[in-house]
Each structure stands twice: as C-alpha cells, then as structure tokens.
Amino acid sequence: MEAHHVSGPSILAVTFTNKAATRCASGAAPGRRCRARFGAVVATFHSFCVRLLRRDGERLADLRPGFNRKFTIYDEDDQVVPAQVDLQNLGLNDEFMPYRAMSSWISHNKSRQKGPAEVYGRGLR
C-alpha cells in the first residue's frame, strides 16, 4: 500500500471461505498484514456479490425483468423444502427419491440450462 500509494478503500480481497476472509480481515493469515484496518474490503466471493447486487441490483432489471435488490438467498436446507413438499403432494416420501438427491438433480439440470421440456419431453410446459 505504501510502496504503490494505494489507499485501503481501493483494495478488494476476495476469498472463497468465511474462515479465510476472517483470517485476512483479522491479520491472522501467516505472512500477511491486516488490510481491513486500512479500510480495505475483505469478503467471500458470495458475500461480495450479494453486497453488489443489494447495492446495484435495480440496474439488472433491464437484463432480467423483475429483478431487484430485495431477493432471498436459499441455503441447502431451504432448497430441499420445495422438493420435499412436491414429493409429499404427489403422495411420495423420501424413499421414492431422497429430498436432497432431488434437489441436487434439479440443480444439475438448471446449471445445464435444461428446463422441464428438455428433461421430460416437449409435452410439458
């Protein structure tokens, strides 16, 4: 920071885990100086992106109609509940397909941008 005349608020340290972000922010990472005390932003990838979306999310509405800053992030347990409810509504329980497996299967297809029509056939909407 001193050698290149960079102010703390101009620094962004992005980590992949909360543990790493905490170490970086507290200066506990071996061989590293604490940047957070100088005003640097230290965050996980996910928390930084959420921060951006909460601040500037309204601008994304042009690309994704209806998007705004008021969104909910579901954790793994939250994602399983809809699968559980759907199977129970069909009279099935987790012996038919474990709820987490169903949630994982849905996630797998979504990440490949497959909708119900591609997965089940063209007759579904």
Per-residue pLDDT tens digits for 23-75: 776 655 444 444 445 677 888 888 888 988 888 888 888 888 888 888 888 88
The pair phi, psi for residue 29, each rounded to 5°, is: -65, 130
Rounded CA gap, 49 and 1, in Å?
A: 24
pTM of the full structure: 0.54
The pLDDT, as a whole number, for residue 32 is 47
Cα-Cα-Cα-Cα torsion 41, 43, 46, 48, nearest 10 degrees, comes to -10
